[in-house]
Amino acid sequence: MDTEAGRIDGYPHLRVNRFLSSFRDEVNGDGTVFWLKQLQELADKGRRFEIRNLPTLSAQKLQETVRTVLSSRVTTLDALQYCSDKLLQLQLEDTSNQDVFKERAIVADNYQAWKRIVGIYPLTAWVFKAGIAQWHEKTLSTYRQPLSHRQVLGQLIRYEPSPETALPNRLQIAELIKKSSENPLKIPLPTAEEQRHLFNRFAPLFEIDVAAHDDRIGYPELQSEAAPRINTDRPAVFRNLSHTRLGNKILLQLNYTIWFPSRPKSSVFDLLDGNLDGITWRVTLLPNGKPWIFDTIHNCGCYHLFFPTQYTGAVRQETGFAESYFQPQQALAIKQVMKPVLRIAATTHYIERVYFEPSRTADRIIQYQWDDADNLRSLGVNGGNYRSLFGQDGIVAGTERSERYLFWPMGIPEPGAMRQWGHHATAFVGRRHFDDARLFEKMMK
């Protein structure tokens, strides 16, 4: 079962994510129809992966049942699509349960309340908050040092995208965003070709201190039921679109994800080591085509860092109980012709700096290849079968960390384990999600 988008009780033809859920109390008329079709697309995509990931024998039995009931020429996906379209048509014709449906069109948060209750969260959270403050201060100390003073433990390798000649300029990007937003909800929905141009235009460079094999990026692979591995002979960056809301504006976001073979121990007492590691870098664009803000997490949801630009304004700092929105360096001065460089540490894979200076040189440059993040939802395994990198709980099996034995009172399932899009809780103290539709709006208040 694919759980990137949440199921809606009683409506098997629709699924929802946090962004689309945020419209449920606003839509009407044509907006409702468009909104429901977006939910249907989420469900259709999820089912395609689920059917593909079925064991061969199960898929054959399901196909035989479909052909027995309907026609010898009808595929399983055809039958499911027909049912989905029919259910949507009936839902649009009968609006008597619309209020009930909207109440159900939500995504549950990624926190387990019972753990916080048993773990005496109102008390233990203060201990974690103090630990987070110490990590913030240690990180700020790193960012205060000139990069030239940072010790390089291995070889400084820069992963870059393949050269692209016809990159769109800011005015072209603004026009692209405007035209792709011509729908009832004003959501920017660029075509596949337009997405390719956007991702190439804002592609980051990953400058990594490679001291061991685990510091190289690669492509996730599955071998039967064994734990996943990363093939570093195939350096790849996985991309997916998302959106955020800022007042009455909807901003387009570009997400770039990399994967490491593991996060090795940095000391004998390190509890953060484990199989697989990764980073997601996100670019949020203004309607005028300018980058508004960058932010990043590790693929467990931890270490959420914000990198405002000169267009962002001041980031609010939490003064109460919840974690602060952590900005480790001054606002970035965007230079249109340059790509952001992410300096990444060996072993921990912490981002140590973001800069736009082209003068820095790496010991070696490797070109990475693009791939769609959706492809991780159905990877080939031995015997011609397919399986998702992610489990039904949205967690990558075999990536558990020992930190879970200490961090469980904060309520996050398997803290430190790698996760699927839509499952990234980013705060131990308080509640926050990477895909929260109003994340940046809350941050700027």
Instruction: Give the mean model confidence (pLDDT) for residues 330-348.
Output: 88
In order of 12, 75, 340, the CA distances from 68 in angstroms are 23, 11, 56
Kindly report whether the global pTM for this prediction surpasses the value 0.85: yes
Share of the chain above pLDDT 70, in %: 98
d(CA 195, CA 209): 30
Higher-confidence residue of 147 and 375: namely: 375
What average pLDDT does the segment 350-370 reach? 87
Whether residue 337 is predicted with pLDDT greater than 70 in this model: the reply is no
Q: What is the pLDDT of residue 224?
A: 75
Please say if the pLDDT value at position 314 is more than 90: no
How does residue 284 score in pLDDT terms, banded at 50, 70 and 90?
very high
Residue 80 has pLDDT above 70, yes or no: yes
Q: Does residue 3 register a pLDDT over 80?
A: yes
Question: What pLDDT digit, counting tens, does each position of 82-123 carry?
Answer: 899 999 999 999 888 888 999 999 999 999 999 999 999 999
**Tokens found for residue 418:** 């790698």
Instruction: Name the pLDDT band for 359 (thresholds 50, 70, 90).
Output: low
Tens-digit pLDDT profile for residues 27-72 = 999 999 999 999 999 999 999 999 999 988 888 888 888 888 777 7
**The pLDDT of residue 384:** 81
Confidence grade of residue 319 (pLDDT, cut at 50, 70, 90): low
Q: What is the mean pLDDT of residues 425-437?
A: 96
2's CB contacts (< 8 A; 6+ apart) are: 46, 49, 50, 53, 377, 388, 390
Q: Any idea where the domains of the chain sit in the sequence?
A: 6-104, 113-444
